[in-house]
Chain A
């Protein structure tokens, strides 16, 4: 059973890269969302363990998304992904998932 990860980011190419890199791991499966509406819709149709907040997400959107996700799943882990689909991604996920 793969760990489901929702990756959100405003930069389409970077988001694609993040999703591809997460999916390189046999343990993880990532879904990408470029907008708040896409993210909230995706979250309501799949059980996620982790949300990665990527670049370009405004504070208001971040607050709105976090509130919506926690209302649906109080145990959801939400972290900021830094660096843009880079060398930090795996370590960030390992740290978040414990």
Chain B
């Protein structure tokens, strides 16, 4: 019997710092909810909006797999490995913080805000060599089908991380349905709706709702309206 958990969008933590408006699906920074400490190896799902010309100054990370998915606008990334890059809608960025890195993220545009998802996954091994990766995805590859954007394998589609995790994006027209088969034994999937309404099996989800499902081999996801969504498959045991 599948286990599930529903996190309605309005139950997320919220922090408005003026330049940064952030919704936290799980405990983060000043938002602490012992019932929201993550979903398996998925520890952070922040839904961030950064004002024009603003951003996160230089700050450190270690021992975390950090994935950024821009939804709107451009974000400039600089890090202590001398990477300088701009990520934009359609890109995905993955960073293994490992033994330690510094980075900054700025919205260099003077007029347009940036919206992006910041996702942290616990690594399956500590103290790895820090690494950075960024790719541009083909948006058509998610229209009415699931597009793999992340995996544990360097030679597979999308970026890769140090964890037995797979992420997929879908942009489905109303009525389109597909089955998702869980790839890793002991894994679960956290569904996050980017826009529109979807059903996971019989559970209706609206924009920005999150829904975890585990102890099952597969589930069906159906677009109740035109909809975009992110599936994050992660180990349930860290």
Contact residues in A for B102 (Cβ distance below 8 Å): 13
A interface: dominant SS? loop
Count residues of B near A (Cβ-Cβ below 8 Å).
Answer: 24
The yes or no answer to A95 lying at the interface (CB within 8 A) is yes
The 0/1 profile, CB within 8 Å of B marked 1, for residues 48-65 of chain A is 000000111110000000
Task: List residues 29-60 of chain A with CB under 8 A from any CB of chain B.
Answer: 54-58
A14-B44 contact in complex given A56-B99, A87-B29, A91-B32, C-beta closer than 8 Å? no
- For chain A, the bracket of interface size reads 20 to 34
Q: Determine if B100 and A82 form an interchain contact, defined as CB atoms under 8 angstroms apart.
A: no
B101, closest chain A residue (CB):
A84
Interface residues in chain B, defined as those with a beta carbon under 8 Å from any beta carbon in chain A: 27-30, 32, 34, 37, 43-44, 59-64, 97-100, 102, 120, 122, 126-127
Contact in complex: A90, B32 (CB < 8 Å) = yes
Q: Is the CB of A87 within 8 A of B64?
A: no
The smallest C-beta distance from A72 to any residue of chain B, in angstroms, reads 25
Closest-by-CB residue of B relative to A89 is B29
- Pull 24 A–B residue pairs with CB atoms less than 8 Å apart, ordered by A: A11-B60, A11-B100, A13-B60, A14-B100, A17-B59, A54-B63, A55-B63, A55-B127, A58-B127, A80-B126, A83-B61, A83-B62, A83-B97, A84-B60, A84-B61, A84-B62, A84-B64, A84-B97, A84-B100, A86-B61, A88-B44, A90-B29, A90-B30, A94-B34
Total of A-B residue pairs, C-beta within 8 Å = 76
Q: Mark A1-26, 1 if CB is under 8 A from B, else 0.
A: 00000000111011001000000000
Assess the A86–B59 pair: CB atoms within 8 A. Answer: yes
Q: Give the nearest-CB partner of A14 in chain B.
A: B60
Q: Specify the chain A residue showing the minimal Cβ separation from B24.
A: A87
